[in-house]
Amino acid sequence: MALNLADVAAAARRRLDPVHWDFFAGGAGDERTLRANEAAFARRFLLPRVLRATGDRDLRTSLLGSQVSMPVLVAPTAFHRLAHPDGEVATARAAAGAGTVMVVSMAATRPVERIAAAGGTLWFQLYPHTDLEFTTTVVRRAVAAGCRALVVTVDSPVFGRRERDLRHGFVDLPPGMVCENMRDADGRVRDIEMNARVGWELVAVLRRLTTVPILLKGVLHPEDARLAVEHGVDGVVVSNHGGRQLDGVTATLDALPAVVAAVGGRLPVLVDGGLRRGVDVLVALALGATAVLVGRPVLWGLAAGGAAGVRHVLDLLRADLDRALALVGAARPGDLSADLVTVGAPA
Ligand SMILES: Cc1cc2nc3c(=O)[nH]c(=O)nc-3n(C[C@H](O)[C@H](O)[C@H](O)COP(=O)(O)O)c2cc1C
Ligand SMILES: CC(C)CC(=O)C(=O)O
């Protein structure tokens, strides 16, 4: 039985084709940013409060109209069928069972309608393509299937250079597997495009397409957080794409406080990257995040045990967060504050 997310990762590694393990696990360049995300959590320590009479903790959170049973969401990650034959359908079943949101990647390998049939709350991640008609088709389809927010990835004007994939020659999905939600109006599957020509006008363009909340994923600079507020987005995700885009980018946890300060409570601020323990979730929340997302751990759960494996990952994080809340003297995520967190040398 996996006692923690590292155990789940080890089980996944035993099962996965090494090429696919490297695709999931890897990052850009020397993978400094990939390591920095986890290392940033290892530098944080806690200063608990005592005698707070927390009673049973309440982890529920409301996020842009979506109710979640805990402030831990499933990050959008591509190609779930490389991890398990049921792909994103299994992930969605687990997220629904755990009562949290799954953000469906635009590069999902199962149709969004089938993912939605699992019954949980879905948000949809979008890479902004230059072809507006195509973007419109994809967004309308996702919203019609029931996706309740649009998570627009803004950290990918070009594709990051991932040397593990280059070494393996991993460039495409195996035969029979496609990005099912990348179909144009004629039903043809398009390639994912990274768009270096898009600017802040994108927000207004997307607003005209849909009424669901719009979040920007990949905001790190506080000035961009301010611009996001100005342009009327509904939320930001502090993310460096799990260290897969630009190596050398700051750890997300280190970028979080300035973004939180810039936003000043006007929008929810989510964060992802390197969260592997309930204590990591607690630290992110204490430093001002409204909720967090996990990417790779969900893929490890999926590879190790399908929907049950993903559910186990989410349940481990929930139990861990609940215990950590009690031990720092907080009854609910909203009780956490930055004074509970100190910085030290990693043990
Ligand atoms: C294998 C893999 C595929 C990913 N695919 C996408 C994607 O399609 N769209 C996107 O916005 N982010 C994608 N990401 C980034 C995640 O949404 C998230 O930012 C990152 O994984 C969080 O870090 P963590 O894996 O340390 O939890 C991907 C990450 C991984 C590991
Ligand atoms: C292949 C890409 C579309 C997805 C991915 O690997 C990523 O976004 O990191």
**Ligand 2 atom closest to 156 (CA):** 8
**Ligand 2 site-directed mutation target among 177, 244, 246, most atoms within 8 Å of CB:** 244
pLDDT tens digits, one per residue of 215-258 = 999 999 999 999 999 999 999 999 999 999 999 999 999 999 99
ipTM above 0.95, yes or no: yes
Radius of gyration of the chain (CA): 19
On whether the CB atoms of residues 26 and 317 are closer than 8 A, the answer is no
Residue having the nearest C-alpha atom to atom 4 of ligand 1: 77
Residue 343 falls inside a structural domain:
no
- Residue 1, pLDDT > 90, answer no
- Residue 347, pLDDT > 90, answer no
Residue 168 falls inside a structural domain:
yes
The parent domain of residue 248 ranges over 5-329
Ligand 2 pocket member 80 (CB < 6 A): no
pTM above threshold 0.95: yes
pLDDT tens digits, one per residue of 148-201 = 999 999 999 999 999 999 999 999 999 999 999 999 999 999 999 999 999 999
As a whole number of angstroms, the distance between CA 345 and CA 48 comes to 18
**Average pLDDT of the residues of the chain:** 98
As a whole number of angstroms, the distance between CA 76 and CA 102 comes to 7
Residue 109 falls inside a structural domain:
yes
Residue 228 falls inside a structural domain:
yes
Percent pLDDT > 90 in the chain is 99
Residue 140 falls inside a structural domain:
yes
Ligand 1 pocket member 272 (CB < 6 A): yes
192: domain CATH number is 3.20.20.70
- Residue 264, pLDDT > 90, answer yes
Number of domains in the chain: 1
Residue 344 falls inside a structural domain:
no
Residue 177 falls inside a structural domain:
yes
- Residue 72, pLDDT > 90, answer yes
Residue 345 falls inside a structural domain:
no
Confidence of residue 309 (pLDDT cuts 50, 70, 90): very high
pLDDT tens digits, one per residue of 314-335 = 999 999 999 999 999 999 999 9
- Residue 74, pLDDT > 90, answer yes
